[in-house]
Amino acid sequence: MSLYELKTNTLDGKPADLAQYKGKVAVVVNTASACGYTPQYEGLEKLYEEMKDQGVVVLGFPSNDFGGQEPGTAEEIKKFCTLKFNVRFPMFEKVKTKGEGQSPIYAFLAAKEGEPKWNFHKYVVGKDGKVKAAFKSGVTPDSAELKSAISAALKE
């Protein structure tokens, strides 16, 4: 099984096949607009802009699972991300990251590295669609440990 075999919907509600990212290294993040970690959107966008030409993509999945910190509609989430943080990396529909009704994407990610414990949990997925590493919310997008895991995945 590979992340790139799964399908979802974009934040605009359009079908999205994750196969389009096969051959890239993905940083998959569960996001929220009203969280103490929300300013990480800025770092995630910077990471995406700096590394997209090297084959890295950031994939954002809004989730209301932790503290009800993503209560908005898809339209509200998109507006917030665009106006406040100028997010250009791909954003997808709101998902459940844990428990009953868990998204197939998060079921796949959690199988190896465990479920997120809070918003802005990051999974590094290799070019082959397999989870290579996971990082708790406090690990920032510009941290050495995250960048090291991305670099290692790019070399595979």
| Residue of 35, 134, 139, 150 with catalytic role | 35
CA dihedral 38, 23, 116, 46 (to 10 degrees): -20
Which residues, in sequence order, are bridge partners of residue 92? 10
Numbers of helices and strands, H then E, in the chain: 4, 6
Q: Which residue has the tokens 């996001």?
A: 31
Annotation marks residue 35 as catalytic: yes
Could you list the active site residues? 35
